[in-house]
């Protein structure tokens, strides 16, 4: 009976249509389904799941794994049979075969050991963790992958297809805004037989791409076919920025990150994220963003970021608002509502200006410009593709008159950093008060629902406030390490520091200098909400050393602040930390 059941299952599986298999495409749920089947039928049924393990191109072998695949993989299995009898391959099968051939000598698996800092206890790290991702070789003996694959890395290894050996990799550059990174490997043995992939163009809608990588559920290379659904500006989850992205209907699972999406014989993008709660909706980073990242690293020898115009705009789709700002019926544009004080636009543009065109491209009332054929894209894309210190011609309507201005573009840093990867958080401890700069990663320590749980005032400032001068930071008291010196002040945590002895605090470094160089008997620190800290300076310094010893904290300040102090102050700080 068992043998008959197995044969029946085999016949039913062979009759399944392509749509039946598409629901099982490398999703987390598919792993559970297969596991349940295997537990019922033991090992014989696994050979009918038709998962592909691609071996070197000279070996035309297919083996089974615990992951079922799409019907495209089944057709390739049949394609290998047709190849033997000399029949011509269909175009779709030929494209898949080309993608597989390119992937074998280019796509690699990346193993990362990373350690993230604790923002509530900035003098120590969290537990070490391991993760895996994908990458591919480009010209110049470099490997492209996602920034989130190597974020907060301490050790990175790379393994090429068909090899059991892992090679040590160095991270040359990381762009967290665009979620891209470049790796280098010194070993000559690794590069033997490796072929770089060439970057192509943005695929057209409904164009077929093949996502190659090492997703969860198996150890071997995986190829998934997808169709381009849309091209538009999208929120990059890792970098929290708006850049162009391509949406495809292929599943992009953990482990796929950093792998190429191949169209024809070139790379159309890099897989990097999916839409949570939806099936088979993935996103790839398009080649204009990749090329901008690579070019910036080549020219500046480091990642320099993406430019910003430094303006917040309002759409002008309502006819009444257009009439109010004296726009003719032929005019379209967006209204300037807010300007970043650190941008060049702040010097030239004014609130209530109407931006009509950017570099000669007319801006529609909803803020888009012509992209290609009948497609449109937000004009922010044109801004982001500019190089740092490059100028743009901006056409503006001001009080009914048209003007043209040359505005210099550059990357702009927010008042509260959105991310802080690959670096330790800065801190300064005095009299048990732990001073830190406010960052969004600090707020994220409150948990997934940080927006509702974290202090409301700090959250609002992190998301809305703009810097008024270069180097400005919001400095807060993150916690109070209790001691006799600070008794009664324990409820002043999570408040912003405004002044030290009457001097406004620009940033954490400035606060450290003001306290370390204090020459008065008493120290006054003004906080948010009108609160005040008053300390006897000499007693506070003595108490600091005792508090550090009690909590086993090596230094009263982070290493970046310690190195920037003058030798006298540095020596005093070191002795304080004993």
- Of 114, 257, 308, 573, the active-site residue reads 257
Tell me the HSE value of 6 on the side-chain side, using a 13 A CA sphere.
13
Distance CA(79)–CA(61), nearest Å, equals 13
Q: Which of 70, 148, 353, 426 is catalytic?
A: 148
Decide if 201 is catalytic: no
Helices (H), ranges, 410-455 = 440-444, 450-453
H or E stretch covering 29? helix 28-41
Considering the candidates 179, 344, 353, 380, report the single residue annotated as catalytic: 179
CA angle 171, 176, 181 (to 5 degrees): 30
DSSP letter for each residue of 282-300:
EEEEEHHHHHHHHHHHHHH
| Cα–Cα separations (whole angstroms), residue 63 to 50, 59, 82 | 8, 12, 18
Q: What is the 3-state secondary structure (H, E, C) of 209-226?
A: EEEEECCCCCCCCEEEEE
- Across-strand partners of 430? 433
444 labelled catalytic? no
Give CA–CA dist 112/133, Å, rounded.
8
User: What letter would DSSP give residue 410?
Assistant: B
List all residues 6 or more positions away from 17 whose beta carbon is below 8 Å from its beta carbon: 71
| Polymer length in residues for the chain | 578
Strands 497-500 and 522-527: antiparallel
Residues 556 and 548: beta-carbon distance below 8 Å: yes
Dihedral angle over CA of 213, 214, 215, 216, nearest 10: 180
By DSSP bridging, strand 497-500 and strand 503-504 are antiparallel
- Is 179 known to be catalytic? yes
Q: What are phi and psi of 286, to 5 degrees?
A: -75, 165
What is the DSSP-derived secondary structure letter of residue 202?
P
Question: Cα separations (Å) of 573 from 252, 431, 500, 568?
Answer: 49, 13, 19, 9
Catalytic residue numbers?
Answer: 148, 179, 257
């Amino acid at each position: 009976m068992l043998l008959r059941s197995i044969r029946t299952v085999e016949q039913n599986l062979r009759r399944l249509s392509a749509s039946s298999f598409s629901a099982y495409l490398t999703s987390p749920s598919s792993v559970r389904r297969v596991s349940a089947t295997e537990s019922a039928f033991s090992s014989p049924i696994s050979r009918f799941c038709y998962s592909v393990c691609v071996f070197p191109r000279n070996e035309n072998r297919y083996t089974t794994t615990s992951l079922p695949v799409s019907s495209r993989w089944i057709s390739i299995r049949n394609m290998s049979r047709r190849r033997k009898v000399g029949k011509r391959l269909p175009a779709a099968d030929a494209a898949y075969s080309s993608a597989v051939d390119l992937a074998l000598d280019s796509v690699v698996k990346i193993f990362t050991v990373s350690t993230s800092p604790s923002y509530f206890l900035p003098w120590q790290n969290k537990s070490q963790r391991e993760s895996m991702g994908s990458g591919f070789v480009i010209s110049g003996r470099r490997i492209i992958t996602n920034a989130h694959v190597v974020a907060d890395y301490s050790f990175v290894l790379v393994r090429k297809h068909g090899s059991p050996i892992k090679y040590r990799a160095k991270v040359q550059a990381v762009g967290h805004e665009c979620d891209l990174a470049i790796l280098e490997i010194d070993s000559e043995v690794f590069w033997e037989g490796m072929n770089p992939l060439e970057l192509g163009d943005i695929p057209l809608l409904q164009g077929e791409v093949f996502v190659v990588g090492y997703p969860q559920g198996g150890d071997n290379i995986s190829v998934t076919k997808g169709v381009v659904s849309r091209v538009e500006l999208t929120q990059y989850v890792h970098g929290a920025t708006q850049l162009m992205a391509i949406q495809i209907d292929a599943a992009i699972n953990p482990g796929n990150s950093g792998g190429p999406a191949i169209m024809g014989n070139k790379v159309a993008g890099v897989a990097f994220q999916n839409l949570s709660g939806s099936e088979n909706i993935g996103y790839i980073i398009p080649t204009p963003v990749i090329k901008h990242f690579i070019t910036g690293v080549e020219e500046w020898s480091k990642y320099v970021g993406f430019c910003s115009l430094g303006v917040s705009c309002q759409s002008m789709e309502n006819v009444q608002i257009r009439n109010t700002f004296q726009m003719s019926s032929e005019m379209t544009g967006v209204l300037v509502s807010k300007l970043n004080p650190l941008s060049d636009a702040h010097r030239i543009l004014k609130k209530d200006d109407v931006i009509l065109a950017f570099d000669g491209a007319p801006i529609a009332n909803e803020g888009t410009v012509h992209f290609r054929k009948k497609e449109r894209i937000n004009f922010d894309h044109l801004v982001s593709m500019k190089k740092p210190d490059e100028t743009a011609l901006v056409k503006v309507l001001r009080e009914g008159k048209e003007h043209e201005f040359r505005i210099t573009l550059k990357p702009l840093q927010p008042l509260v950093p959105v991310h802080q990867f690959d670096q330790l958080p800065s801190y300064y401890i005095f009299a048990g008060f732990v001073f830190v700069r406010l960052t969004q990663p600090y707020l994220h320590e409150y948990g997934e629902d940080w927006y509702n749980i974290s202090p409301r005032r700090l959250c609002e400032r992190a998301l809305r406030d703009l810097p008024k001068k270069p180097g400005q930071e919001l400095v807060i008291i993150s916690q109070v390490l209790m001691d006799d010196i600070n008794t009664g002040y324990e409820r002043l945590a999570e408040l912003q520091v405004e002044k030290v002895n009457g001097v406004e605090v620009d940033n954490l470094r400035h606060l450290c200098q003001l306290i370390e160089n204090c020459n008065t008997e008493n120290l006054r620190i003004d906080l948010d909400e009108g609160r005040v800290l008053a300390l006897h300076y000499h007693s506070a310094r003595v108490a600091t050393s005792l508090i550090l010893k009690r909590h086993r904290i090596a230094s009263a300040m982070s290493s970046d602040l310690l190195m920037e102090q003058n030798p006298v102050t540095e020596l005093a700080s070191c002795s304080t930390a004993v």
